Chain A
Amino acid sequence: MIEVKGLSHQFKIGKKGKETIIPVLEGINLKVESGKIVTVVGRSGSGKSTLLNLISGYIQPTEGEIFIDDHHVTSFNESKWADFRLHNLGFIFQSFQLIPSMTAYENVELALTLKGVHEKERKAQTEKLFKKVRLEKFMDHYPSELSGGQQQRVSIARALILNPPIILADEPTGSLDSDTEDELLDFIKQLNHEMGITFLIITHDEKVAKIGDRIIEIIDGALVEEEDAS
């Protein structure tokens, strides 16, 4: 479960001493129940990606607290955050964020390598997951040799490889065509249904938003609406 309490965030821009403070999020309170798909919608610049980055620990909030599965993550230092991310969170990014010099296989295997899993076990788990995302023939391809949909599936495989209870997705279909988008959304629903993975998805796409058990809207940094999709 993800719980956000009184979360605020401001960006400082400009030269030191002459900074301009731009508030992005204001007093956000949010609960994401385990095993649910929650989509966050909002216009560009509304602060939805900032919310995800705060929950991911990529940036520290100006104010407020975040709890993930009862862990007070806002008190974590960088090292503890890294370990927590590796073991508890999976990430899907709009631009896939695959390492271009590594093959699809190596990109997916990377999380297992970082965790210190033995090579033999890594191989078995990675190959199994490639079959699941139906990319077993493309394991030795580099990201540049794959289509957008294939790259996103590799990215999902990487997010799933350590069986995280929560997956955070930032515009996961943003770079995909309509057919591939449908295919990906079905896959997300299947993962949620079969494995009980919690999804927090940031999107501005109405079709993506509709797969959520709950849809949250952020307008100008404030959570102004929360609707139950069911």
Chain B
Amino acid sequence: MRFKDQFKFVRQNMKKNKTRIFMTVLATAMGCAFLIVLASVGFGLQKSIVEEITQDRLMTEIQVHGKENEENAGITMDDITYFEGLGHVKAVTRRQMVDQQGEFRVGEFRAEGNAVVVDFPSETKAGFELSEGRLPEADNEVVIGHDFAESLAKWNGKETAPLNEDGTVKEEFKYKGELIGETLNLGVKQYEGEEEKSKSFDVKIVGIGKKPTKDWEWDPNIYISEKVLSDIEAFTGTPNGTVPPPNLPAEERELMEQRKDRFYSQVSIYADDIENVKTISETIKDKKYFAYSVVDEMEQINTVFLIVKSGLIFIGTIAIIIASIGIYNTMTMAVTERAPDIGIMKAIGANPSTIKRIFLIESSYIGLLGAIFGTMVAYLITFGVNWLLPIILSNAFGEPIPGDFKFSHIPLSLPLICIGICLVVTILSGLRPARRATKVDVLKAMRREV
């Protein structure tokens, strides 16, 4: 018997009991919709969290936070050289903060902030971008953070506070002009005994950094070269321009001044391709460095979500298994009702395997219809949840939910998994009734005794 005819036969049989079939398909659809919606929460949260983590971050970056060495845990120039020598490394950036709160002046405006020492050539290779101007070429040239101008406040020598309560500069004290080309006066201090001494270094602003990608990020720093840091260190007599407290015991002060190694606080290795991040990360971890990359984090997050999603799919599968009891019942009823017809078919020469196949097609068809309707319903629910839940939550808790945050997400694989599970479960539930159909006794069936 051809498959097309078997399918036609199944459809004809199903039409005889529309209500029963409808209820069975409905139960299966509910099971499938439950599975998909449940798992879609896992997929949705994973997608949103992963997007949040990876948003505007370089996936090729490996951050190095030091090494497992009791005597010398910081990253030094030797370590940087080692990193640069590794295969597939595009750039190694290193940053360090000048170890004191700097006072920056531009004309009569001033601001307090951090001076960050960067290696501009490696930053350029790693993709450091400016919103305006150019990168420094001379030692006394600097780049300012995107929000540096916002932190500058006019200082008129009076006690009038130029800042609002939230720390922003009052409108009348704000710096309004162009900063590129201006001379910035970088003030540092140190103590000689109890006496505070200060010195200022004049640097020229040649570029403004790109706006931080996240709305809440604020970059009022200035980016200086290592030469400027060396000048500061020459003044303070300590590495990184550290200011020892005036009451520091003389031995400790001496020890600090003797420390020659410069430690880098923010070291990032950039791989030439995302595929090589894991290898580089593993290599340096083997060398006892503390390394972190988004790829590592993604792996952990994906592992956690894989477990969560598997759990949710398992729970959803239980719903389908419950629905399959309905299919089993429907198919058993169908076999009982159609036993005389099965008997006649067998009497004229229907093969038992054909009869079995017809019933299996019927149970799979019910499962498939249920899975398709369930998927459609699940998409509607997902759409509703993603539209309605942010409104409810933001009204209930007063916290705005990011516009692109998805509570529920259905990737194509999820309906496919659901249809697969549904088909397996429904075929299994139809197997026993189908076997029973093949065992129908021809003579008893024709005498209507079954």
A82 touches B (CB below 8 Å): yes
Contact partner of A58 (CB less than 8 A), chosen from B9, B352, B442, is: B442
Contact partner of A110 (CB less than 8 A), chosen from B2, B348, B351, B443, is: B348
Cross-chain pair count, CB within 8 angstroms: 63
A78 touches B (CB below 8 Å): yes
Contact B344 A83 (CB under 8 A): no
Contact A83 B351 (CB under 8 A): yes
Contact A113 B5 (CB under 8 A): yes
CA distance A86 to B1 in the complex (A): 12
Q: Which among A78, A110, A111 has the highest number of chain B CB atoms within 10 Å?
A: A110
CA distance A23 to B5 in the complex (A): 43
* Majority secondary structure, A binding face: helix
Contact B352 A85 (CB under 8 A): no
Given A97-B344, A99-B341, A101-B341, decide whether A82 and B351 contact each other with a Cβ distance below 8 A: yes
Size of interface on A: residues with Cβ below 8 Å to B:
28
Given A113-B1, A116-B1, decide whether A85 and B341 contact each other with a Cβ distance below 8 A: no
Given A86-B348, A99-B344, A110-B348, decide whether A79 and B353 contact each other with a Cβ distance below 8 A: yes
Report chain B residues within 8 Å CB of A93: 347, 446
Which A residues from 66 to 115 make CB contacts under 8 A with B?
A: 78-79, 82-87, 89, 91, 93, 95, 97-99, 101, 110-111, 113-115
Contact A59 B349 (CB under 8 A): no
Which B residues from 154 to 184 make CB contacts under 8 A with A?
A: none
Contact partner of A114 (CB less than 8 A), chosen from B1, B12, B443, B446, is: B1
Contact A82 B2 (CB under 8 A): no
Given A101-B16, A101-B341, A113-B5, decide whether A87 and B349 contact each other with a Cβ distance below 8 A: yes
A175 touches B (CB below 8 Å): no
CA distance A114 to B353 in the complex (A): 11
CA distance A56 to B1 in the complex (A): 21
Report chain B residues within 8 Å CB of A86: 348-351
Who on chain A is nearest to B448 by CB? A95
Contact A79 B2 (CB under 8 A): no
Contact A114 B349 (CB under 8 A): yes
CA distance A53 to B344 in the complex (A): 14
Beyond A79-B353, A93-B446, A119-B5: 7 further Cβ-contacts under 8 Å? Answer: A79-B352, A82-B350, A86-B351, A91-B347, A99-B344, A113-B1, A158-B348
A residues within 8 Å of B by Cβ? 53, 56, 58-59, 78-79, 82-87, 89, 91, 93, 95, 97-99, 101, 110-111, 113-116, 119, 158
B residues within 8 Å of A by Cβ? 1-2, 5, 9, 12, 16, 341, 344-354, 442-443, 446
Q: Can you spell out 19 A-B residue pairs with CB atoms less than 8 angstroms apart?
A: A79-B351, A79-B353, A82-B351, A82-B352, A83-B349, A86-B348, A86-B349, A86-B350, A86-B351, A93-B446, A97-B344, A97-B347, A111-B348, A111-B349, A113-B2, A114-B350, A114-B351, A116-B2, A119-B5
